[in-house]
Amino acid sequence: MAKLEAVEYKSFENIKQVDSNGIEFWFARDLQEVLNYAKWENFSKVIDRAMLACKNSGIKIVEHFPEVRKTIKMPKTAEKQVTDYKLTRYACYLIVQNGDPRKEIIALGQTYFAIQTRRQELADTFNQLDENNKRLVVRGNIKQWNQLLAEAAHNAGVITDEEFAIFQNAGYMGLYGGLTVADIHTRKELKEKDKILDFMGSTELIANLFRISQTEEKLKIDQASTAAQANNIHYKIAEKIRIAMIDMGTTLPENLPTPEKSIQLIEREEIKKLKDSKARLMLDE
């Protein structure tokens, strides 16, 4: 595995460019190939989500995703002008964070492009966001922390899908006063295919983010080695968060309102706004 990672990390280095000012960058179409996206149409959707994440971090998109035109060769010596992006390391990081998590190369890319200051930058601007964009930001963080939690749980002995479902239930039951995933799903009146986390407001999402991040840390500290130990840790961490909420007199998660719009719908709406504003800017110019 270490040899594979070394090879894949080198592939990111091989496509890195350096401009006349000594600043490194990557072309999006080069990154598309390394990340194993066959079609630009599919990869451009990942770029859209990355741009949205950039905006919600309070950082100007144009500073990290400047659009450029590139000439590519076509059959019979023909040429074609296509859109490309001159990506900063941060832009690449956001792209791999929003890529297909089933691709092993995506996980390696997340490590390669990791930027430690991202969370601090996010915290500095979070309170300036509206509720919809707060939900997008926290849900994005939960996706990443859930990957870390799944890895920690697996290392602790949570192996099968059934064991992982029990592990997840333990956390929800601790935080939601005994309610299971199915109970919360019913309480929120969700459709069968809907995910609970996609129908939480920012306050409820933050409570769950704390549950997930603290459980991941505790599993490693306690060196849990069985599924039963992992389940108990998840439940106890979540229960302590619930007790703290009771002590502070804040609204318990099961009593928080369920948003009408899913995360996916908000994401589509925000990306459309982003594209519309970009089109207006080009017209103004």
With 0.85 as the threshold, say if the pTM is over it: no
Last-in-domain residue among 124, 142, 170: 124
Predicted confidence at residue 102, as pLDDT, reads 79
- 157-175 pLDDT, tens digit per residue, is 999 999 999 999 999 999 9
Residues 192, 99 within the same domain = no
- Determine the Cα–Cα distance for residues 97 and 12; give it in Å rounded to an integer: 15
Predicted confidence at residue 115, as pLDDT, reads 44
Predicted confidence at residue 22, as pLDDT, reads 86
- What total of structural domains would you count in the chain? 2
Mean pLDDT of all residues in 185-191: 95
Q: What is the mean pLDDT of the chain?
A: 87
- 110-164 pLDDT, tens digit per residue, is 767 764 345 455 566 777 889 999 999 899 889 889 999 999 999 999 999 999 9
Residues 251, 183 within the same domain = yes
Residues 142, 227 within the same domain = yes
Domain limits at 256? 129-268
Q: Which of 200, 191, 193, 64 is nearest to 141 (CA)?
A: 200
Residue 111 resides in a domain = yes
Q: How many CB atoms lie within 10 A of CB 55?
A: 20
Place of tokens 């060196």: 223
Predicted confidence at residue 118, as pLDDT, reads 52
Residues 182, 169 within the same domain = yes
- Structure-token pair, residue 48: 């859209």
Predicted confidence at residue 68, as pLDDT, reads 93
Please report, rounded to a whole number, the percentage of residues in the chain having pLDDT higher than 90: 64
In this predicted structure, the answer to whether residue 108 has a pLDDT above a threshold of 90 is no
> Which DSSP state fits 198?
G
Residues 133, 98 within the same domain = no
CA 279 to chain centre: 27
Residues 133, 263 within the same domain = yes
Predicted confidence at residue 277, as pLDDT, reads 72
Place of tokens 């109970």: 183
Residues 190, 119 within the same domain = no
Residue 278 resides in a domain = no
Residue 285 resides in a domain = no
Last-in-domain residue among 124, 159, 190: 124
Mean pLDDT of all residues in 191-217: 95
- 255-275 pLDDT, tens digit per residue, is 999 999 999 999 999 888 888
Residues 100, 186 within the same domain = no
Q: Is 157 left (phi over 0), alpha (psi -120 to 50) or beta?
A: left
Last-in-domain residue among 76, 99, 124: 124
Residues 133, 264 within the same domain = yes
Residue 276 resides in a domain = no
Bridging pattern class, strands 67-73 and 79-87: antiparallel
Residues 84, 43 within the same domain = yes
Contact 156, 224 (CB under 8 A): yes
Contact 91, 65 (CB under 8 A): yes
Residues 114, 148 within the same domain = no
Mean pLDDT of all residues in 26-45: 94
In this predicted structure, the answer to whether residue 198 has a pLDDT above a threshold of 90 is yes
Residues 196, 172 within the same domain = yes
